[in-house]
A and B are shown apart, each in its own frame.
Chain A
């Protein structure tokens, strides 16, 4: 018995480099050898899917990208999924960015999804990248008040007045739907407060897992039509549209990593109690 307790005590003092190695392995291995675990869509993900699915044909959808490379693994898959769904249903996409890195993410989206999977869709007629403007929530207010004053040219330097799909689009109320992919401030909450709620234009959102807590009250209050919560949300959306992508493949790795972290917590606590009992004895 003493040998077992000593062993547990020793495990409690495990060098952190072993923990790092184990985490690296459990993340890498499922990425190369997927397990194909089932995905169950939550209510909030289904709400987003329904909101997009129920849009009238040729709806004008504002897609706002507020994230960068650090949160790309969580948010990029859900934006890919949303854009696939929107273009499949023949909607028009207007992309804006409240973060400077968002514009790079948007270019990546156009290059990897729109140009490859939807070659018949043309820039300026089916989708447009308006790009980044500094100012945070003031940019949102600018879009609400008069988008033409804020954006005189798009991200590629073309005059907004010359872009065919911009005709009839002067302010936020001219859009039919907003999807905000957000990793923080300014992002989803500011879109609710300054744009969607005052104008009544419906919106949905996709956020990092850590941000879900603060956005959930808006979802429950009906101000936001559902939320894609982190990478699981992206994977759930991919399963709903029937196009498995990087969100789905990432979920196997996240599943195993979570199991391992839970095991770490259990082992850590067992070692803690063994150590505490030992010190009480002496």
Chain B
């Protein structure tokens, strides 16, 4: 218990406090530890963690094959890929002109071949599939069910069109006409009177047309209806406000969790 519990907690508490105080105390040795040595310790530990992670992956996937658990056939590819990577990384260089180490990205090596012709297409394919799922989801799931969903949908459409070059070609006057029609639907559902709806839409269209002729139909004016400017505003104002508050919340959460680790309250890292 002493070696498995007390010692690890004491190490974490000591190193945690030392690193934390390093930012507040003007002591050269502690500063050197915080800014230089601690990061090197982290690098060494991270390298071991990669090694342990690789062994863990191999163990879990091999067990899956041996016990013929659900989806064990896929694990054959995982273990096979692992073995092939080990071969390409440590045994077969493929190009004698290149040194060990540099062979990982060197021209004509087996490792580079594996990256270019196996990893890259697989990785790109997985990511590219997102476009198809987004399109399918937009057709089936993106519904105007309530006010929040409508707001999200309208912002999404503005960002999607405003970010791409075709958005530059969409006149703000076209968006004004669409807005009038959109509000026409709201007016109709509220009053349920065709004459009021017609008067609203007709009046709006007439006013817009008159102003359009007077202003000479500039594509980017009024700016509030020009998609590229609208998307800029969404990105810079509501989006940043939301992102900042989330970041502050995350920061406070990180601080609270770090203090729990340093004070020995959080012990999940020793399996408790």
Find the residue from B119, B134, B139, B246 having the highest chain A CB count within 10 A.
B139
Q: Are A149 and B135 in contact (CB under 8 A)?
A: no
Kindly list chain A residues whose C-beta atoms are within 8 Å of the C-beta of B115.
101, 104
Binary CB contact string for chain B from 114 to 158 against chain A (1 if under 8 A, 0 otherwise): 011001110110110001101110111011100000000100110
CB distance from B32 to the nearest CB of A (A): 9
In the complex, chain B residues whose CB is within 8 Å of the CB of A217:
240, 243-244, 247
Q: Which of B34-42, B63-71, B205-213 contacts A (4 or more CB under 8 A)?
A: B34-42
Q: Which of B50, B104, B120, B169 contacts A69 (CB 8 A)?
A: B120
* B57 within 8 Å of A (CB atoms): no
Q: Which of A106, A135, A252 has the most CB of B within 10 A?
A: A135
Task: Give the residues from 101 to 158 in chain A that come closer than 8 angstroms, CB to CB, to chain B.
Answer: 101, 103-104, 106-107, 131, 133-136, 138-139, 141-142, 144-146, 149-150, 153, 155-157
Chain B nearest Cβ from A252, distance in angstroms: 7
Nearest chain A CB to B183's CB is how many angstroms away?
17
Q: Please indicate the chain A residues that have their CB under 8 angstroms from the CB of B186 in the complex.
A: none
**A-chain residues with CB within 8 Å of residue B232 when the two chains form the complex:** 42-43
Question: Which residues of B sit under 8 angstroms from A235, Cβ to Cβ?
Answer: 165
Q: Are B163 and A135 in contact (CB under 8 A)?
A: no
Among the stretches A15-23, A51-59, A77-85, the one at the interface with B is A15-23
Given A139-B43, A265-B138: A216 in contact with B165 (beta carbons within 8 A): no
A139 closest partner in B (C-beta) = B43
A70 → B minimal CB distance (Å): 4
Task: Flag if A258 contacts B161 (CB, 8 Å).
Answer: yes
Question: Contact at B136–A20, with CB atoms within 8 Å?
Answer: yes
Does the CB pair B43–A157 fall under 8 Å?
no
A261 at the interface (CB under 8 A from B): yes
Give residues of chain A (147-173) contacting chain B, Cβ–Cβ below 8 Å: 149-150, 153, 155-157
Tell which of A101, A134, A216, A269 touches B50, judged by Cβ atoms closer than 8 Å.
Answer: A134
A134 with B36: CB separation less than 8 A: no
Q: Residues of A within 8 Å of B, CB-based: how many?
A: 71
A43–B228 Cα gap in the complex (Å)? 11
Give the contacting residue for B166; candidates A72, A106, A259, A269; CB below 8 A. Answer: A259
Which stretch from A2-10, A33-41, A86-94 is at the chain B interface? A33-41
User: Would you give the shortest CB distance from A16 to chain B, in whole angstroms?
Assistant: 5
Interface size for B (C-beta < 8 A) is: 59
Residues of B within 8 A of A131 (CB): 105
Q: Are A149 and B36 in contact (CB under 8 A)?
A: yes
Query: For the complex, is A68 an interface residue (Cβ under 8 Å from B)?
Result: yes
Contact at B135–A261, with CB atoms within 8 Å? yes
Please tell me if B46 contacts chain A, counting CB pairs below 8 Å.
yes
A212 to B99, CA, bound (A): 39
In the bound complex, what is the Cα–Cα distance between A272 and B142 (angstroms)?
A: 10
Bound Cα distance from A107 to B112, whole angstroms: 10
B30 within 8 A of A: no
- In angstroms, how far is the closest chain A Cβ from the Cβ of B160? 4
B159 to chain A, nearest CB (A): 9
Among B104, B168, B239, contact of A216 (Cβ-Cβ < 8 Å): B239
B102 and A156 contact, CB distance less than 8 A: yes
Q: Are B39 and A145 in contact (CB under 8 A)?
A: yes
Complex CA gap A142/B43 in Å reads 9
Decide if B236 is an interface residue (CB 8 Å cutoff): yes
**Cα–Cα distance between A272 and B239 once the two chains are bound (Å):** 29
Nearest B residue (CB) for A14: B139
Bound: A101/B50 CA distance, A: 15
Contact A70 B124 (CB under 8 A): yes
Q: Is B243 in contact with A214, judged by CB distance below 8 angstroms?
A: yes
Chain A residues, Cβ within 8 Å of B46:
134-136, 138
Contact A69 B42 (CB under 8 A): no
Asked whether A185 is an interface residue with its Cβ less than 8 Å from the other chain, the reply is no
- Asked if B243 and A213 make an inter-chain contact with CB atoms under 8 angstroms apart, the answer reads yes
Cα–Cα, bound, A230→B160 (Å): 12
Q: Which listed residue, A107, A144, A150, touches B35 by the CB 8 Å rule?
A: A144
Contact between chains at B39 and A141 (CB < 8 Å): yes
Taken together as a complex, chains A and B put the C-alpha atoms of A10 and B121 apart, in Å, by 37
Evaluate contact between A258 and B164: CB separation under 8 angstroms.
yes
Q: Is B47 an interface residue (CB 8 A)?
A: yes
Q: Is the CB of A40 within 8 A of B168?
A: yes
CA distance A155 to B99 in the complex (A): 11
Top 7 closest A-B pairs, CB basis? A37-B165, A70-B127, A138-B42, A255-B166, A69-B120, A255-B164, A141-B39
26 CB-based A-B contacts, threshold 8 Å: A16-B136, A16-B139, A69-B120, A70-B124, A72-B120, A101-B119, A104-B116, A131-B105, A138-B42, A146-B36, A153-B101, A156-B102, A156-B106, A157-B99, A213-B243, A214-B247, A217-B243, A220-B236, A255-B166, A255-B167, A258-B163, A262-B157, A264-B138, A265-B157, A267-B139, A268-B142
Q: Which residues of B contact A (CB under 8 A)?
A: 35-36, 39-40, 42-43, 46-47, 50, 99, 101-102, 104-106, 112, 115-116, 119-121, 123-124, 126-127, 131-132, 134-136, 138-140, 142-144, 153, 156-157, 160-161, 163-169, 228, 232, 235-236, 239-240, 242-244, 246-247
